[in-house]
Amino acid sequence: MSFHDNALIVVFGASGDLASKKTFPALFGLYRENKLPKVVSIIGFARSDLSHDQFRDKVSKHLKYDKNNDDHIKKLENFLKICTYHRGSYDEAEGFQELEKSIVKFDNDNKLEVSNRLYYLALPPSVFTKVATNLKKYNYPSDSSKGSARLIVEKPFGHDLESSRQLQSELSPLWKEEELFRIDHYLGKEMVKNLLPVRFTNTFLMSCWNNQFIDCIQISFKENFGTEGRGGYFDSIGIIRDVIQNHLLQVLTILLMGKPEDFTNPESIRNEKVNLLKAIRTIDFNDVLIGQYTKSTDGSKPAYIDDETVNADSKANTFAAIALHVDNDTWKNVPIILKAGKALNDSKVEIRIQFKKSVADIYENSSRNELVFRIQPDEAMYLKMNIKLPGVPNKVSVSDLDLTYKDRYSKEFYIPEAYESLIYDALNDDHSNFVRNDELDISWALFTPLLHYLESDKGPSPELYPYGSRGPEGLHEFMKKHGYDYASNENYQWPVTTPEVLNNSKF
The predicted model scores a pTM of 0.90
Cβ proximity of 75 and 31 under 8 Å: yes
Q: How far, in Å, CA of 161 to CA of 441, rounded?
A: 7
The residue-averaged pLDDT of 162-169 equals 93
How far is Cα 361 from Cα 358, in angstroms, rounded to an integer?
A: 6
**Mean pLDDT over all residues of the chain?**
90
Look at 181-190, 349-358, 402-411, 476-485 and tell me which has the smallest mean pLDDT: 402-411
Mean pLDDT for 260-284 is 95
Asked whether residue 443 carries a pLDDT value surpassing 90, the answer given is yes
Residues in the chain: 507
Least confident of 171-175, 260-264, 368-372, 402-406: 402-406
First and final CA of the chain: distance in angstroms?
Answer: 71
Find, among 302, 319, 182, the residue nearest to 246 by Cα: 182
Percent residues over pLDDT 90 in the chain: 73
At residue 252, the 3 state secondary structure works out as: helix
| Mean pLDDT value across residues 369-375 | 94
For residue 143, name the pLDDT band (cuts at 50, 70, 90): confident
Tell me the per-residue pLDDT of 13-46, one tens digit each, with 9 for 90 and over: 999 889 999 999 999 999 999 999 999 999 999 9
pLDDT confidence bin for 505, thresholds 50/70/90: very low
Mean local confidence (pLDDT), 155-161: 88
Greater model confidence, 486 or 379: 379
Q: Strand pairing partners for 294? A: 466
Per-residue pLDDT, averaged over 6-14, amounts to 95
Instruction: Decide if 303 contacts 293 (C-beta within 8 A).
Output: yes
397 or 79: which leads in pLDDT: 79
CATH architecture for residues 6-154: 3-Layer(aba) Sandwich (3.40)
Longest dimension (CA), the chain: 88
> Would strands 115-121 and 6-12 be described as parallel, antiparallel, or unpaired?
parallel
d(CA 418, CA 399): 31
Question: Across residues 133-157, what is the average pLDDT?
Answer: 88
- More confident of the two residues 338 and 69: 338
pLDDT digits (tens, 9 = 90+) for 222-255: 999 998 877 778 888 999 999 999 999 999 999 9
Segment (H or E) for 466: strand 463-466
CA distance 403 to 380: 6
**Position 470: which residue type?**
R
The CATH fold of domain 188-418+436-490: Dihydrodipicolinate Reductase; domain 2 (3.30.360)
Helix axes 52-60, 70-81, angle to 10 degrees: 140
Q: How confident is the model at residue 68 (pLDDT cuts 50, 70, 90)?
A: confident
DSSP 3-25: -SSEEEEEEETTTSHHIIIIIHH
* Partners of residue 466 on adjacent β-strands: 294
CB 123 within 8 A of CB 17: no
Q: Measure Cα distances from 328 to 205, 295, 393 in Å.
A: 19, 43, 45
CA distance 234 to 163: 18
C-beta atoms surrounding 170 within 10 Å: 14
CA 220 to chain centre: 12
Between CA 283 and CA 320 the distance in angstroms is 13
Q: How far apart are CA 225 and CA 211, in angstroms?
A: 36
> What are the start and end residues of each CATH 3.40.50.720 domain in the chain?
6-154
What is the model's pLDDT at position 191?
Answer: 93
For residue 247, give the nearest of 372, 129, 152, 350 by alpha carbon: 350
Which positions are catalytic?
Answer: 247
Find the mean pLDDT for residues 177-191: 93
Dihedrals φ, ψ of 402, to 5°?
-115, 125
Burial class (CB in 10 A: 0-12, 13-18, 19+), 267: middle
> Distance of alpha carbon 240 from its chain centroid, rounded?
14
**What pLDDT is recorded for position 2?**
56
What's the mean pLDDT in 356-367?
77
**To 5 degrees, how large is the angle CA 198–CA 374–CA 209?**
40
More confident residue, 50 or 330: 330
Give the pLDDT score at 422. 95
Each residue's pLDDT tens digit, 273-300 = 999 999 999 999 999 999 999 999 999 9
Chain centre to alpha carbon of residue 72 = 28
- CA dist 27 to 107, 260, 431, Å? 20, 31, 18
Residues of the chain with CATH 3.30.360.10: 188-418+436-490
Could you list the beta-strand ranges (E) of 310-462: 319-324, 336-341, 348-355, 370-376, 380-388, 396-404
Closest Cα to residue 195, out of 247, 246, 252?
252
Count of C-beta atoms within a 10 Å radius of residue 459: 16
pLDDT of residue 507: 39
- Cα-based distances in Å from 25 to 44, 68, 413, 480: 13, 18, 18, 42
Q: What single letter denotes the amino acid at residue 272?
A: E
